[in-house]
Amino acid sequence: MRRRAAFLLLGAALAGLVGCRRPERVEKEPPAGETWLSEAQIRGARLAVEPVGTRTLAFHLVTAGHVAFDEARVAHVFSPVSGRVTKVLGAFGQRVAKTDPLAVIESPDLGSAWSDLLKARADLTAAEHEFQRQKELFEHRASAERDYETAQDNAQKARAEVDRAQLRLKMLHVSESSSATQEFVLRSPISGEIVNRTATPGLEVQGMLSSASTVVELFTVGDIDPVWIWGDLYERDLAKVHRGQKVTITSVAYPGRQITGAVDFVGNVLDAQTRTAKIRCAVPNRDHVLKPEMYMTLTIELERREMLALPRTAVLRSGDHQTVYVEDGKADDGRTRFRERPVELGEADDGWVSVTSGLSPGDRVVVSGSILLSASRE
């Protein structure tokens, strides 16, 4: 009796008859698993019925990621010499070319390097003169062979010291044609934008060529067009992702804006702590809206398949059971018959779900409002 009363009440509500006179004729109650509705009730409930058909479903994998520099377009600039910063020539956001000066450092190391070169050259000149003198004496049998060989060895050692001193200046990017000085000019190794700077006038710095344990990065020069987007990939998803797959990238900083890229690297090593592998895609960043270390959401398109599908809103779930309501002709009294039918569903994506059994192409399924049909049977 409760079932019949609920059905009659729903029918009255759907037809907009609540508060009106009780109908004189009692309609026939539908059998179990079915709901019968008049055209007025269907319109009142705003039921939407559509035929089931095949649809191209795009299956995606969503993961978290972050923005990073393209490693070929960023340089972390350290001072190779120890000393004190006297001038800062590079400003935040400044665009610099390769070899442009960034700072001037007064460094005893540079003075020592020049001194070593000049001394080595003088020693080489003296050693070569002595070698030439001993050679002439030896050729005229006026000196011992031992003295000649000693002079020859000393000349070679002096030449090696000159090479060492020249190599040290070369490592400091100092030209031998320039004048000897203690002012070292720190230059940009690449073209790009100064995105970070810790150098300030008066700052004491330790050189990379010294024995200091801590060396401070003075400038970061980089180009953020394009940038890399790194994402994390769990073990269970490793077989699904490969190079070339389309990636849609979004962020909370720019809601509604989508950036498109493609997977260009899948890591071969898993992080021991997170048990994830790294994936990467390079994307253009002409307007510089993507900033290094910004958090991003990566949606990777795994594949597209033609499948029998219906909207998620059509499916009613009760525990492990999944059902839909299918339009099944007319009842004896002219009302439209809706029959509950169990279905088995497969993969889902973008508001749609694939159907593996229970429906056939062309079946007319309630895709909106099916919850009302379920309530009428309780």
CATH for 336: 2.40.420.20
pLDDT tens, position by position, 151-199:
999 999 999 999 998 888 888 778 777 778 888 999 999 999 999 999 9
**DSSP per residue, 153-203:** HHHHHHHHHHHHHHHHHHHTT--TTSPP-SEEEEE-SSSEEEEEE---TT-
Which one, of 332, 365, 333, lies nearest residue 355 by Cα? 365
Cα(213)–Cα(297) distance, integer angstroms: 38
Mean pLDDT, all residues of the chain: 86
Identify the band that residue 2 occupies on the pLDDT scale cut at 50, 70 and 90: very low
**Is the domain of 100 the same as that of 197?**
yes
Position 153 scores a pLDDT of: 93
**Is the domain of 193 the same as that of 243?**
no
**Is the domain of 13 the same as that of 138?**
no
**Is the domain of 191 the same as that of 283?**
no
Identify the band that residue 51 occupies on the pLDDT scale cut at 50, 70 and 90: very high
pLDDT tens, position by position, 83-110:
999 999 999 889 999 999 999 999 988 8
Looking up residue 203, the CATH number of its domain turns out to be: 2.40.50.100
The domain total for the chain is 4
Q: Domain end: 304, 328, 352, which one?
A: 304
Q: Domain end: 171, 202, 222, which one?
A: 222
**Is the domain of 130 the same as that of 94?**
no
**Is the domain of 231 the same as that of 344?**
no
Give the Å distances, CA to CA, from 117 to 112, 160, 162, 224.
Answer: 9, 11, 6, 41
For residue 5, pLDDT over 60 is answered with: no
Q: Residue range 246-255: average pLDDT?
A: 93
**Is the domain of 209 the same as that of 95?**
yes
pLDDT tens, position by position, 71-87:
989 999 999 888 999 99
Residue 154: strand, helix, or coil: helix
**Is the domain of 214 the same as that of 90?**
yes
**Is the domain of 165 the same as that of 275?**
no
> Could you list the residue range(s) of the whole structural domain that residue 202 is in?
74-105+185-222
Position 128 scores a pLDDT of: 92
**Is the domain of 251 the same as that of 368?**
no
Position 211 scores a pLDDT of: 66
Identify the band that residue 27 occupies on the pLDDT scale cut at 50, 70 and 90: low
Structure token pair of residue 51: 């035929």
**DSSP class of residue 291?**
-
Cα(63)–Cα(237) distance, integer angstroms: 10
| Most confident segment among 204-208, 239-243, 319-323 | 239-243
